[in-house]
Amino acid sequence: MEINKDLVAASATPLVLAILSEGDSYGYAIIKRVGELSNGELAWTDGMLYPILHRLERNGFVKAVWGESEAGRRRKYYQLTKAGAEHLERQRRQWHLVDNALRGTGAPRPHEDRAKEEDSHGG
């Protein structure tokens, strides 16, 4: 299923924070984990992850440390901060709320949903 671009962008921040809440990680591993969690449906352009990580760092939601990979390369590891964990909690509640609201309208049949989305793109 193709996921709307805006939705991908909006979900990127909570997703990255959620993955980091599982433990410290680095860019490539985060991308891989996103693929696993979404069964390969959520495909990001790899390079776009880094500006997001840097923004999170600037806002104090993650902390970055230069370390070394198993192969001895310089690698930047990211760690969730307390502020980051709180931000993640807020985001989770918001997504939950939106999800609940959507469910409340009754479950539409999948193909109907698809047709509507194509309509809204102007065919």
| Binding-site ranges for another protein (CB under 8 A) | 26-28, 31, 45-48, 50-51, 54-55, 58, 66, 69, 71, 73-76
Q: Which is nearer to another protein, 71 or 101 (CB)?
A: 71
Minimum separation from the CB atom of position 48 to another protein (A): 6
The rounded distance, in Å, linking the Cα atoms of 84 and 58 is 11
Q: Is 75 helix (H, G, I), strand (E, B) or coil?
A: strand
Q: Which is nearer to another protein, 48 or 98 (CB)?
A: 48
Minimum separation from the CB atom of position 31 to another protein (A): 8
Neighbours of 14 (CB within 10 A): 17
Q: Which is nearer to another protein, 54 or 92 (CB)?
A: 54
Minimum separation from the CB atom of position 51 to another protein (A): 4
The number of CA neighbours under 13 Å toward the Cβ of 93 is 5
Amino acid making up residue 56: L
Token representation of residue 10: 């909006």
Q: Which is nearer to another protein, 3 or 28 (CB)?
A: 28
8 A C-beta contact, residue 91 and residue 14: yes
Q: How far is CA 31 from the centre of its chain?
A: 9
